[in-house]
Amino acid sequence: MTIFDSTTLSAAGITAGSATGAAAETRSNIIEATQAAEDAVLTPKDAGAFPHALRAALAARIANEAGENDLADRYLAGAGDMAGLADPSQDGETEGLAHVVAFADKAANHTREILAEDISTLQAAGVGDADIVRLCELVAFVAYQLRVVAGLRLMKGAAA
């Protein structure tokens, strides 16, 4: 695997041999660390209460809401039977995950509005503290990745 196989560069449309690809190669350690972080939040050894398919669906949901369809499609490939949650119009009620979906949406799209009550709601629904942290890590990572993809696309446009 090369850095050009990473989700971030693929979603941004950065290829080997391009000017932006050459720039990315000079920072390959950052691309590799970003991929390692993605692997850690999407497919961790200890997934806790959130299986890999759910994590992928939530990541795709966040990317869809941000208008990053290529990134959403990459995540959706791992969503399996949870793929329906990638659709921002779905509330997670059918899957019994409305509280998780609502929190992920709010944390991703209205971060400043998160209140202690939002955490209490998750806890009351039986989500443990470690899983709340896992959920926040996932949301934070996807937010970071969305910004990196947008920046790489800007670089790509400037290099053309």
Residue 159 reports pLDDT greater than 90: no
Long-range contacts of 93-100 (CB under 8 A, 24+ apart): 97/54, 99/125, 99/127, 100/50, 100/54, 100/58, 100/125, 100/127, 100/135
Distance separating alpha carbons of residues 158 and 160, to the nearest angstrom: 6
Residue 154: Cβ within 10 Å count: 12
* Over residues 73-94, mean pLDDT: 97
pLDDT of residue 156: 83
Percentage of residues of the chain with pLDDT beyond 70:
99
123-152 per-position pLDDT tens digit: 999 999 999 999 999 999 999 999 999 999
49-68 per-position pLDDT tens digit: 999 999 999 999 999 999 99
Domains of the chain: residue spans and CATH: 3-159 (1.20.1290)
pLDDT of residue 81: 97
Residue 17 reports pLDDT greater than 60: yes
pTM: 0.94
* Over residues 92-110, mean pLDDT: 97
Percentage of residues of the chain with pLDDT beyond 90:
93
